[in-house]
Structure 1
Amino acid sequence: MPSPPNKQTLFFTTRWTLVRDAAKGGDTEATEALSQLFETYWQPLYRYVRRSGKSQQDAEDLIQGFFTQLLSTDGLRLADKDRGSFRSFLLGSLKNHMAKQWQHDHRLKRGGFSPHLSIDWKDGETGLSIEPADPATPDRLFDRDWAMALLDKVLDDLSKSDHGQDFDRWKPFLSISSGKLAYAEIAEAFGMTEGAARVAVHRLRKRYRQHLRDEISRTLSDSESVDEEMSSLFAALSE
């Protein structure tokens, strides 16, 4: 009998596959992998709740209750991959949970809802208190926060695959358009030829684009929608 896939393999399968496997019940590896996924994307959900008018404490209670409900088999069985993106599924599920939020005496004690999740609430509050008034709806701001969380994850994955130090050296050039890159200065600073500098930047950008497409494709039920999802998320970042 083949050995079961490890957590690393599970984490990089499609999100809907993880949901399906965890919803069967008894698949603790799939559930733990989903917990890791939520640790990556909990902030956009938390910030959505805060922008919807909830206090910090109420938002924490809501997110904890939401994750607890979703990580249970009953919660995951409500997942429908035909809804499209995992992003839309999570937000839709959160809205349903908010509409049915527990009364005060049924709330979970903060910090005790799941042994699998590690959340630093201060991270979710970062910038909210000084955020200027924004005419965009919480839904549109959720898309922006999701895009930022996704980009952070892709950069973190790249850093790990490139063993950190070399990636940190080249990372700043991802945010500069090719036409504005001073390759001669880069070559001199890094002790290489200008041609080698161009190749290094090109390869990094190629890996970045591929990691980004892979990450986005895992959040969709239809891999053919990657370009549309990428356009949507970058549009959210530009607003």
Structure 2
Amino acid sequence: MLAAQGDAATVARVALETLCRSYWYPLYAYARRMGQAPQDAEDLTQEFFAQLLEKDWLLAAAPEKGRFRTFLLVALKRFMAKEWQRASAQKRGGGRTHLSLDTTDAEQRYAGEPTEPWTAEDIYERRWAMTLLNQALEQLRAEFAEAGKEAEFECLKHWLSADRGGIPYAELAVELGHSEGAARVAVHRLRKRFRQLFREAIAATVAEGESVEEELRHLVAVLGRS
């Protein structure tokens, strides 16, 4: 029984660490826009997630307590205000186990973020929305790969967000080796499945009983902002 509990705890921690690795960049970008230097933003994000796991702050993110997007940002703000100075005074890595976050291209990504008047909160929400989009895209890619249709996915993915009137169905038909009608159906199914996966990704970050459609509209508006 104890072994089973230990296994469950290990699985839960791995799941939480995977969650943290998925959402670290929106928080990193927030810290950078708030004036943190690159190394400090990386250290801050690492320390935040270490404490998030060690102190079970994620227990406060129970499904009935609201959007995970909001929870993480509020938690980071509190951490920056109350604990970051104390934590950063310690020697970096001094006995603490840090998560393995892929920060190698963080500054390149941050350099591409919008400039003012975008605030730190704006950047955070934009990157949150992009993270969910990328999750949906990778899931879609995996589904095509499992079906042995990687080449079809690579051909069609460019038209996921295009206006219907701008999709060159005749050219796609030639590239796919299908009829034009079959190309239209393939694009329609791809776009429909992508919307489903994006909605599912959003649903996993909102509280039970909250409107997924409301969050979807909010994130689409964020992505549509120029």
Q: TM-score surpassing 0.5?
A: yes
The more displaced of 199-208 and 179-188 is: 179-188
The match for 2:118 is 136
The match for 1:21 is none
Superposed, which structure 2 residues align to 1:129-168 within 5 Å?
129=111, 131=113, 133-163=115-145, 164-168=150-154
The Cα shift of 1:131 comes to 4.9
The Cα shift of 1:49 comes to 0.4
Superposed, which structure 2 residues align to 1:42-191 within 5 Å?
42-100=24-82, 101-103=84-86, 104-109=88-93, 113-114=97-98, 117-129=99-111, 131=113, 133-163=115-145, 164-191=150-177
Letter of the structure 2 residue corresponding to residue 201 of structure 1: V
From the superposition, tell whether residues 39 and 132 of structure 1 become closer, same or farther in structure 2 (CA, over 3 Å).
Answer: closer
Please identify which structure carries the higher helix content: 2
Task: Indicate conservation of the 8 Å contact 2:61/2:68, yes or no.
Answer: no
Letter of the structure 1 residue corresponding to residue 178 of structure 2: M
Aligned equivalents of 2:151 and 2:62: distance in 1?
41
Task: Indicate conservation of the 8 Å contact 2:159/2:167, yes or no.
Answer: yes
Aligned equivalents of 1:44 and 1:31: distance in 2?
21
The match for 1:22 is none
Report the RMSD for the aligned CA atoms in angstroms: 2.4
The Cα shift of 1:120 comes to 2.1
Letter of the structure 1 residue corresponding to residue 59 of structure 2: R
| Aligned partner of residue 135 in structure 1, secondary structure | coil
Aligned equivalents of 1:133 and 1:205: distance in 2?
31
The Cα shift of 1:110 comes to 8.6
Deviations 1:63-94 (A, max 9, x none): 11111111124423333544421111111111
The match for 1:226 is 212
How high is the TM-score relative to the length of structure 1?
0.81
- Alignment length (residue pairs): 215
From the superposition, tell whether residues 68 and 227 of structure 1 become closer, same or farther in structure 2 (CA, over 3 Å).
Answer: same
Superposed, which structure 2 residues align to 1:25-40 within 5 Å?
27-40=9-22
How high is the TM-score relative to the length of structure 2?
0.85
| Aligned partner of residue 133 in structure 1, secondary structure | coil
Aligned equivalents of 2:114 and 2:143: distance in 1?
37
Task: Indicate conservation of the 8 Å contact 1:184/1:194, yes or no.
Answer: yes
Aligned equivalents of 2:143 and 2:95: distance in 1?
32
Q: Which runs of 5+ in 1 are unaligned?
A: 5-25
Aligned equivalents of 1:47 and 1:144: distance in 2?
10
Task: Indicate conservation of the 8 Å contact 2:152/2:176, yes or no.
Answer: no
Aligned equivalents of 1:127 and 1:76: distance in 2?
27
